[in-house]
Amino acid sequence: MLHVESGETVELNREQRVLLGPGDVLALTPDGLTEARRWSGGSRDSNGGGGRVRDFFGYDGLVRAVREEVAQNPSSLADAGMAVAKRAREFAGGTINDDVCLLLARRIERGEPSR
């Protein structure tokens, strides 16, 4: 799925073109960050139940974190990416039990120095 600034979500299960404007950031990640999870509520039984609810960092959490961290680290997408992963790990109580990979790329104009 691809989230564009208009709030539209585009399914990417087929070939499709998306135009990125100058300064736009593209974030690519497997499910490890969006499925970072934490439990809330009462004590958990052996089946994972017991009144506890599993919350996921989710797609919205990822989009929010990328936006905020890119805004706070405009000169370094590497720093922004590390901060996004840290936020997902903190959300999950310090451990993510899945793959964590995040690629951030920014469109720049010809002649514009890379950041």
Token pair recorded at residue 26:
């593209």
pLDDT at residue 115 greater than cutoff 70 = no
53 vs 41: CA distance, rounded Å = 6
Q: What's the predicted TM-score (pTM) here?
A: 0.75
Token pair recorded at residue 76:
């370094």
45 vs 74: CA distance, rounded Å = 44
pLDDT tens-digit series, residues 17-65: 778 888 889 899 988 899 999 888 755 555 555 667 889 999 999 999 9
pLDDT at residue 1 greater than cutoff 60 = no
Q: What is the pLDDT of residue 81?
A: 96
Token pair recorded at residue 58:
């989710």
Instruction: Report the sign of the C-alpha dihedral through residues 63, 1, 103, 4, in that order.
Output: negative
pLDDT tens-digit series, residues 52-100: 788 999 999 999 999 999 999 888 999 999 999 999 999 999 989 888 9
Q: What is the pLDDT of residue 36?
A: 93
